[in-house]
Structure formats: structure tokens, C-alpha cells
Amino acid sequence: MPADPEALPRLTRSGPAPRPGIVHLGLGAFFRAHGAVYLDDALSVSGGDWGIIGISLRSPGTRDALLPQGGVYTAVARHPEGAIPRLVNSVVDVRVAPEDPEAVLAVMSDPAIRIVTLTVTEKGYCHAPSTGRLNLDHPDIRYDLGSRLPISAPGVLVRALERRWQAGLAPFTVLSCDNLPENGRIVRGVVLDLARAIDPDLADWIADEGRFPSSMVDRIVPATRPEDIAALAKATGRHDAAPVIREPFRQWVIEDDFVEDARPDLAAVGVQMVADVTPFEHMKLRMLNGTHSALAYLGYLAGHQTIADTMGDPVFRTYVQALWQDEIQPALSPPPGQDLTAYARALQARYTNPAIRHRTWQIAMDGSQKLPQRILATLAENRTAGRACPGLILAVAGWMRYVGGVDEAGQPIDVRDPLAAQFAAISGAATSPAETVAGLLALREVFNPGLAASIAPELTQVYDGLIRLGARKAIAALA
């Protein structure tokens, strides 16, 4: 077997591709390991013209890897006892918006396209996470207000809907698949804010005719590494340049509200179609994503590279168990048919899967966009209810130390965040832990002023202890 995967025959599509009916903005690893797999299953079970045209809003890397394979790729499920690969055939084309924005808008204006899904991460919505409203001062939004060939995700949605409005076509359904609470409401809000700034009549049409169902997505998808590509080539005898790695677990909950009821038969393949997704997304965002972020910041500071490594440390395992039981579950109303304690046990089993190398550094990215819904919302509800939450306060302190850019060993941290320059300036100017905390709490993009004032004294004390003791000893001190 050749050591170089590229020396092997290239993976290619073996049968006809489905006709497209869905455009996906931001064709990254998560959607290809989650939504595209569900849609592939739905096509196999019920058929229909629901192939996916992926749109990259930034770089051509995914397009260049997928198109020589006809859009086909491998999704590898990593079980503790071994890996199980499967081919995914639902992606039929990939376009790169910066190369030809006109072609992207033309595709989205085609009446055959009835749904536009998106995974553009929290920062891709160009909104203020603390308020949920569109940031009209965002440089991409300022550009899009003056151009009919937009560069932002909200801009692409609005200009494509504008073309359909002008042509007398029905709008497409916009289905967010990002980890945002009430993601349908968020994307509807930013689309309407931008549309109203362009043409109030367009905004009224979108508000009346458009549909923006919220959804909750759940599957751990670590980044694909070169050694993953090599291992797959050795196992299959074919070179796949674009595989994705995924855990066995998956869940997708969608509000059943589509334009003209046009959608694939998702319920037939296990998608939960519901009237209100809110309790499901609160459960997932706070119990999974909230503890993921807490473990990522504090685990990274303590020298743990992955979530499984972090959970292998009994101090961190006890910490996350206490977070679930004492601080997160009391602030939640369980979704219908869900037991929060059983859900926490299932999460612990998923976190400790040794076959899933989900890097703490990867999860720690873009924390300014994630913290409000993953941790601060729970913290605020607990404060209002008079419940102590020392573990969540410590998680916020861990984020503050992490974005300072230097770990406990004195090594630089590669902080990836839209506010990274502001973090560096605040941390560089601070001469004490109190100044660091005060400077970061003043960031209105992240912290609500009332919550910031409420937690400042305790957070300052905890942050000071984190600096003196280190993450592992600070967690142990909680007990």
C-alpha cells in the first residue's frame, strides 16, 4: 500500500447525482458530517430533488477537494472500538462566492432551490451576541449596503431574496444549523435589519412570506487531520481529499415551518420535527456547548489537548459533573421526553470517547461569540434565582485568562477571535487582575452591563485565584 494517499485512485461518484433543491452557506466539516448525512439518508429513503449546492463564503479549499470527487466524500464514525466509514452523496456542487458572487446569487434565485441552510459560525451572522441585532457597523455589512454583490452571509441571503422578490418567485426557507439559541429568530432578525436598510418594501415581503425555522444540531465533529486522510486511504484503497470525522451520536431538531411546506422527508430518518425547538436548544447549548467551552478554556490552560484528555483528569471530570448537576440543570426546563440527568450521563460518555480527538484549542475559538449563549445566559438566570454558580464563574475566568494570550507555562496562545486585538490591548494595558477583569467585562459585545456589574467582585476574586493557583488547583479548590 503506497504511503502517500494521493498515489491511490481518487474517490469518485459512482451513480447519478440528485437534482439540487438546497443551497448551503458555509460547507464546513460540521454540516458535511451532520446535515448532509441526514439529507443523504432522506434521499435514500424517500427520494426527491434535494441535492445540496455548497457555497464557500471565503476560500476555495473545500471546493477544490470535493469537485474532483463529484462532491462525494467519506464520513467516518469513530467508535471506541473502531472506525466505520460511509460515503455521502448528497453534495452535488460547490461554488466559491468571492470568485463569482453573481453565479452564487443566480443559483440561489433558481426556483428549484427551496431551502437555504447555513453553518457560518456565530460570528458569520454579523450581529452583537449580547443583543442578537445586526451590527450595521460591521465592515462586511457596510460593504453589502453599497453593493449588489455581497460578501457577508446576511448580505448573500438578502440579495438572493431580493432577486426572487423582483422576479415574482416565492422565497426560500432559511434554516440555520449553527449553535445559536433561537437561531431562526437570529437569522430572521439580521436579514430583516439589513433588508430594511436596503428597501423597506423588500423587508416587508420577507417578513410576510419568508420562513426561518429554528433548529438544534448535535454531533461532535473534530477537525480532520492529515493522518486521518492517510488512515482512511489505507483502509479503503482510495484517496479521499475531503473526509470528515464524526462521533456516532447525532441529533437534529427542527421547527416544522417551511415555505409552501417544501422540505425533504427528514422525519423518516430520525430528525425531530417540532413546533418549538427552544427547550431542546437550551438543553444542548448549555449542557453540551457550555461545558465544552468550560473544559476547553480551563483544560487548555492546564495542558490538556483534547476533551477526552481533559475528562481523563478526575479533577476536571468532577468539575463538569458538578456543573451539570448544581448549576446548569437547575436553570433548565427539560424538553418533552428528555431526562436531564440521563442526558448528562450520555454527554459524559461522549466526552470520554478516546477515538474522538476534539481539540480544546478548536473549541476555544471565537469565544466572544459563544460565551453569551453557552455560559452567560445560565449564569444570569442563576443570579436572578439566587443560586450560587462558582463553576460557571470559574469558566468565565478561564476564558479571560485564555484570551490574555499566554498559558500557565508562559507559552503564547494562538487566540482566534473577532475581538482578539481588543483582548490583547486590554490584557497588555492591565497592571492587575482587577484591571484585566474590569476591562474585559466592559466589552458590550460580550457582557450585558447588569450581569457584568453583578459578577464583577466574585469574578475578580476567582480570576486572581486562577492566576495564582493554575486551572487544575483552582478547580480542586471549588470542592
pLDDT digit string, tens, across residues 360-372: 999 999 999 999 9
C-alpha cell at 211: 420562513
> Can you give the pTM of this predicted structure?
0.88
Is the domain of 186 the same as that of 240? Answer: yes
Question: Residue 2's pLDDT band (boundaries 50, 70, 90)?
Answer: very low
Domain end point (choices 251, 274, 297) = 274
- ∠438-442-443 over CA atoms, to 5°? 130
What average pLDDT is seen over the chain?
A: 96
Judge if 219 and 361 occupy the same domain: no
User: Are residues 402 and 458 part of one domain?
Assistant: yes
Residues 266 and 316 in one domain: no
As a whole number, mean pLDDT of residues 326-340 equals 93
pLDDT of residue 129: 81
Query: How many degrees, rounded to 5, is the angle at CA 374 between CA 115 and CA 406?
Result: 115
* Predicted local confidence at residue 6, as pLDDT: 84
How many CA atoms lie less than 13 Å away from 284 in the CB half-sphere?
A: 20
User: For residue range 116-169, what is the model confidence (pLDDT) as tens digits?
Assistant: 999 999 999 999 887 889 999 999 999 999 999 999 999 999 999 999 999 999
Domain count, the chain: 2
DSSP classification of residue 211: -
Last residue of a domain, one of 253, 274, 295: 274
Q: Residue 49 to residues 17, 32, 83, 118, 248: CA-CA distances in angstroms? A: 10, 18, 31, 19, 27
Assess whether 264 and 396 both reside in one domain: no
Tell me, what amino acid is at 39?
Answer: L
- Its domain, for residue 356, covers 278-478
11 and 38 share one domain: yes
Mean pLDDT of 379-397: 96
Which of 242, 274, 306 is the last residue before a domain boundary?
A: 274
Domain co-membership, 308 together with 395: yes
Cross-strand pairs, 96: 56
Q: Looking at residue 5, what is its pLDDT?
A: 84
Quote the CA–CA distance of 360 and 300 in Å, as a whole number.
Answer: 6
Q: Has residue 462 got a pLDDT over 70?
A: yes
pLDDT band at 1 (very low <50, low <70, confident <90, very high): very low
Burial class (CB in 10 A: 0-12, 13-18, 19+), 453: exposed
The CATH number of the domain holding residue 328 is 1.10.1040.10
318 and 240 both lie in a single domain: no
Residues 289, 261 share a domain = no
Give the residue-averaged pLDDT of 79-85. Answer: 94
Same domain, 311 and 414: yes
